[in-house]
A and B are shown apart, each in its own frame.
Chain A
Amino acid sequence: MWLISMSEIKLVYFAWVRERIGMSDERVIVPDEVKTIAELAGWLQTRGEEYAHAFENPAVVRGAIDRKHVKPDALIAGASEIAFFPPMTGG
């Protein structure tokens, strides 16, 4: 039963983060030791060249948890949707 409780998170990507990774969203099972947005970005970086390219300068990539902007040290526990994207250029 404990396996079922492992959290599956929906990840969504925008702009050049999306283009580099090659998809707009995916569902992942995140290892327990990954606790923060910064750690999640670091873990994603290890998943292949596309991810390494997207997160090559992690300080530039912004994160949002359940559609709210968060800082890199924000905890991801309980999140259902986490987004990664470049600095915004609307307006």
Chain B
Amino acid sequence: MSPLLTIRIQSEPFDAAAEIEALSRLGADVGAVASFIGFCRSEGGKLSALELEHYPGMADEEIGSVVAEAASRWPLFGVTVIHRHGVMRPGDGIVLVVTASSHRTASFEAANFVMDYLKTRAPFWKKEHLVDGSSGDWVDAKIEDDRLAARWKLDV
């Protein structure tokens, strides 16, 4: 049976518990569900918010191709990726990845892979809003993220 792949790009918050529950009920052979949530943080009290801009259409397609690649590399029952856009406050969830498989290695590795690729391929950009009300800088991409993505040896 082909895995259930769900990608949502939305401004609304997500319910991580409900998404994990949904994948854990994909069948009697689901033995492992891994999840990752990326949150907005204040950077030591400096930021009041992060504003996420995205490229509609391309964002779905890029995440879709990364998720499809994950499903071809690991034996998965399902993958759910939700990525938000708009204004996030510290503590708000920005991205959710959930993977379901029979054994833990596939779930862990697939979730890690999806996050590494999403970081360098999905067309989203973060702009800082400072606590003093001024508009901060655009967040710079990290060389470290390119290195993390490169270790999977994939040119998607």
Contact = CB atoms under 8 A, between A and B. Distances in A.
Given A14-B53, A64-B123, A89 B138 contact: yes
A91 B141 contact: no
Interface residues of A, number: 17
A18 B127 CA distance: 13
B138 A69 contact: no
A67 B83 contact: no
Interface string A53-70: 000000000001001110
Contacts of A9: none
A11 to B, nearest CB: 13
Contact of A15 (B38, B53, B118): B53
A89 B59 CA distance: 12
A15 B140 CA distance: 11
A69 B121 contact: yes
B138 A15 contact: yes
B55 A67 contact: yes
Given A89-B124, A90-B118, A67 B138 contact: no
A88 B126 CA distance: 8
A72 to B, nearest CB: 16
B141 to A, nearest CB: 3
Nearest to B117: A91
B55 A89 contact: no
Given A88-B124, A90-B52, A67 B57 contact: yes
A91 B95 contact: yes
Contacts of A87: 120, 140-141
Interface of B: 38, 52-55, 57-59, 61-62, 83, 94-95, 115, 118-127, 138-141
